[in-house]
Chain A
Amino acid sequence: MEIYRIPEDLRFVNQIGQTLSAEEKIKLEIALIKLGQTQTFDQLLFWGRIEGTVANYYIAIGLNFKNNFEFPHKTFFYTANLKEFQNLPPLNPEYKEQVETFRQLFSGQPEKILINITGEDGDQPPADQPNPDEPQQVVKNDDDSDVEIKPPPKNFLEVDRLAYVVNAIEFECALLPVGAVRLTPTHELRYNDSFEGLNLQEASKISNYQHFRAPQSANKKALIAQDDALFHYDFFDQLDDHPVGQWSLQTDSSKYQVTIRNLQWPGFLGYHRAGTRIFGYAYFGDGIKNVDLAFQL
């Protein structure tokens, strides 16, 4: 959600029962402004909050539209103490399967070791103590020709799991109304200035919303590559992923405020106020995927 509109947009998040407290709002705004001053992005958005047992993570996302072909570049930031945002570490594909088996809550301590590789510390330290820095090990190759310095084997920390979860949610869930963005003649993405919002009937149909990610399905990839793509608005993937039924579109009692929730990631919602340019998405949850959804439908 836009930074200057956080208090108003939170009423959409209220539909799933979440909000930011007064203290959180104040600190978050300051931290976001600080982040926006140190790094320049085309747009800086507040992505959401992941609740942990000891502390919460607050995530921000920076979007760069210019000079990026077809899809803006997304950079993620996190903070656990709302003082300063830090970059989320890059994804390490080695641990992908293991991460998906983690079902326990986040703790809120970014340095917590989840998979112990170095073995130096022996048993996992208890959850409420910060961990010592992992030792650096430089493995040198004994060959005379090259001295390869392999990167030291690092422990898998909670902040790495956070990176996985945030990227997974963003990939699977981020959404927009159709018509909110368009392509320029140079195939860069921009917000559509003439987007007036979906009207009341359109806003209640899930087919009028699309994913906010580089298109994955074959027909959308073809569509976006065409030269006349700038005349179309629906060049992103539709919200028809498997398992079907994972999206739930609901409104409040006035029918104007539409939220689209994802049942695989309970806590994610995309929102739109019909008839206006207000739209966005956010995640307010515990960061655990509901993998049992297939059995629940």
Chain B
Amino acid sequence: MLKEKLQEIKDSNTNLYQHLNNVLTKILLDNPKNAFELFEDYSFQVKSSGFSFDKYNEFDNAERTKISMDQAIQQKTLKLVNKINLGTDEEPQEATQTGYLPNLTEEAYLYEWAGIGIDENYKIFKALSLLSVTKQASKLRFWGKIMAREKDYYIAEGVANSQVEDGELPPEVEPRGSGVNTKSYWACTDILNDKDWVELPLITPQQINVSRQIKYMFTGNLEADVITNPYFFGKEKHLLKAQIVRITQSTVIIPKGQYILREGEPREIDQTPEYKLPGFHELKTLNDWMHFNTNILNCGRLVHLIPSELPDGVEPDIYQKQIEAADPFENRLKQLSNDKLPNNKPAWKIRIVGDTTDYNPLAKDTNNKVNNGVIIIKSLVWPGLVTVYSNKVLSQLYYGYGFKATTNHFYPKQPQQVQTEQPDLPEQPEPNFPAEVPQQQQD
């Protein structure tokens, strides 16, 4: 009797009897501890999800069991992770030897000690090796990741294939392979797509100088316009390259003594002959490290530009000295301990983590103890730049937004006032004198 009564109270889909059945079944199945408080909740959920006990199959529901991935992504991931195949599936073509590429997966372990996690490091490594083969780039390494608003950039650094032609360059631009354009950089937002690696273009000194004055958040689109004041003449890819070059030129560091100044040419460096990478204990302080690259000059180049036309009466040597005095070089191979931030705090942070006990090596050579300690050096001028050293492996990476650390708030320069045009003077009719009458010569 009660059953029929309840079945009479109907809705479009179900009736009250059915509904109560479903609610009670769900409660029994879930067996919550506070079923009393949750009773109304269950009723609401059963109504909204259309739960029905006779059709119930808990493994049947929703996205949890339907683990699916887009087909294209599946294929691309597999292709990336498998052995490099430059041909098609029917005619596999193996890649010939690629240039040097440090093993990112091993280095990722070191970076983990520094608190830097490289996401998907094996995929990045494979993408880089594919890049090395397709673009014939040598000395490739993973430079780092620059975060942006919509998509992040993965950046690779290397030396491009020497057969690339650039065409005519204006005189102040340092040509490929020299100055700020020494190394080539490739950027990519989607590591699964090997066609996505784009080589970043050569940059001009003006672009470097403007990039020093602006603070721009990258969007993730290399061809985006960069609207700033002072105006950056170039697209996002130029600005990206400029920031990368600035970071690299000021933060690459090497152990002290690995390079020495060349005699007679204090701007050049040579590898120290018979140099062995020191062990852990010799590199524990900032004094043991030095800069490797030259600083970018105020004019935006690494080397001054001596114009081919000298002003009159000036000797070329003296003119060169004048230019250099106006925009002086910094010393090469500077020690890190001298670097300071604007507020006089040190510009580097050095930490020692990991297991720092000295172990005797396998061979009975007690002079070379093995130490697995990790030395981490982080830049405070370019936050995100990390150098790690452990067990003769030295590596460097950047993970950040591409900003320099600033203590002051950034105010973009206001554009200059556009002056109003002078009002036009009221027009007057042109004085038209009658045509001159030639005066008669008086006798």
Contacts and interface: CB of A to CB of B under 8 A. Distances in A.
Chain B binds chain A:
yes
Interface of A: 10-11, 13-24, 49, 51, 53, 56, 103-105, 127, 182, 184-185, 193-194, 196-197, 199-200, 230-231, 245, 248, 250, 252-256, 261, 263, 266, 274-276, 284, 286, 291-293, 295-297
17 contacts: A13-B117, A18-B117, A18-B399, A21-B113, A21-B115, A49-B115, A103-B407, A104-B407, A184-B37, A193-B32, A199-B63, A248-B150, A250-B151, A252-B119, A266-B401, A276-B63, A296-B215
Interface stretch (B67-75, B161-169, B361-369): B67-75
A185 B40 contact: yes
Interface stretch (B41-49, B282-290, B320-328): B41-49
Interface in B409-436: 409-412
Nearest to B343: A104
Given A21-B353, A23-B353, A250 B150 contact: yes
A17 B117 contact: yes
A253 B77 contact: yes
B5 interface: no
A292 B116 contact: no
B70 A14 contact: no
Contacts of A18: 115-117, 399
B214 to A, nearest CB: 9
B253 to A, nearest CB: 18
B380 interface: yes
Contact of B399 (A17, A24, A253): A17
B70 A127 contact: no
B149 interface: yes
Contacts of A19: 112, 115-117
A291 B428 CA distance: 57
Contacts of B145: 17
B202 interface: no
A112 B37 CA distance: 49
Nearest to B191: A253
Q: Which 10 A-B pairs rank lowest in CB-CB distance, beginning with the nearest?
A: A19-B117, A17-B399, A14-B117, A14-B119, A275-B63, A296-B217, A292-B410, A103-B407, A21-B113, A196-B62
Given A263-B217, A274-B63, A23 B354 contact: yes
A245 B220 CA distance: 14
Contacts of A252: 119-120
A273 to B, nearest CB: 11
B24 interface: no
B114 A197 contact: no
Interface in B75-128: 77, 112-120, 123
Interface string B130-159: 000000000000000101111110000000
Contact of A254 (B69, B148, B410, B412): B69
Given A17-B145, A184-B37, A184-B41, A253 B401 contact: no
A14 B73 contact: no
Given A18-B117, A103-B407, A127-B345, A254 B73 contact: yes
A117 B91 CA distance: 77
Given A193-B30, A292-B406, 4 more contacts: A17-B119, A104-B343, A196-B61, A253-B123
A112 to B, nearest CB: 13
B179 interface: no
A184 B412 CA distance: 50
Contacts of B64: 196-197, 275-276
B216 to A, nearest CB: 6
B246 to A, nearest CB: 17
A286 B41 CA distance: 43
B201 interface: no
A263 B44 contact: no
Interface string B180-203: 000000000011100000000000
B62 A245 contact: no
Nearest to B341: A104
Contacts of A276: 63-64
Nearest to B39: A185
Interface string B200-232: 000000000000000111000000000000000
A75 to B, nearest CB: 24
B392 interface: no
B123 to A, nearest CB: 6
A256 B77 CA distance: 13
Most chain-A CB neighbours within 10 Å: which of B113, B115, B192, B354? B115
